[in-house]
């Protein structure tokens, strides 16, 4: 099976702009989670989607949003970008068998905000 894919791999934006990142989970996986990784804060949970519904949300401002489509693919959007949004954004998918499962991560999207 193909792994988790994320597009684009690299992005450069300027402050105030918005950005959309895409994630395609492993075939058959219905849960998709997003994480932000920065040198200062480490790996932090953004949100999780299951069957097109947001089930969990981390402690991030409303500028960060996401959605999941019927084919389980997910997108996250960051509006009004700030310098501090520069980070590696990681998407993970899991089978979701009723409890917490192994999450398989994609290669990430490196976002740089200038």
Partner 1 sequence: SQQGEEDPQALSIQEGENATMNCSYKTSINNLQWYRQNSGRGLVHLILIRSNEREKHSGRLRVTLDTSKKSSSLLITASRAADTASYFCATDAGTGFQKLVFGTGTRLLVSP
Residue 66 binds partner 1, judged by CB under 8 A: no
Among 76, 81, 92, 111, binds partner 1 (CB under 8 A): 92
Task: Select from 74, 53, 77 the least CA-distant residue to 63.
Answer: 77
| Interface residue with partner 1, options 13, 67, 73, 110 (CB under 8 A) | 110
Looking at beta carbons only, is 80 or 112 nearer to partner 1?
112
Closest CA to 75 of 4, 20, 11, 5: 20
Q: How far apart are CA 51 and CA 36, in angstroms?
A: 22
Distance in angstroms (rounded) separating the CA atoms of residues 4 and 47: 17
Q: Which is nearer to partner 1, 80 or 101 (CB)?
A: 101
CB of 1 to partner 1, least distance (A): 14
């Amino acid at each position: 099976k193909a792994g988790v894919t994320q597009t684009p791999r690299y992005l450069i934006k300027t402050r105030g702009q918005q950005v959309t990142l895409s994630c395609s989970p492993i075939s058959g996986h219905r849960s998709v989670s997003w994480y932000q990784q920065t040198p200062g804060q480490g790996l932090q949970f953004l949100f999780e989607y299951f069957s097109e519904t947001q089930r969990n949300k981390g402690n991030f401002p409303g500028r960060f949003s996401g959605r999941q489509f019927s084919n389980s693919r997910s997108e996250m959007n960051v509006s009004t970008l700030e310098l501090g949004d520069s980070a590696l954004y990681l998407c993970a998918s899991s089978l979701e068998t009723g409890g917490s499962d192994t999450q398989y991560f994609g290669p990430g999207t490196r976002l740089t905000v200038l």
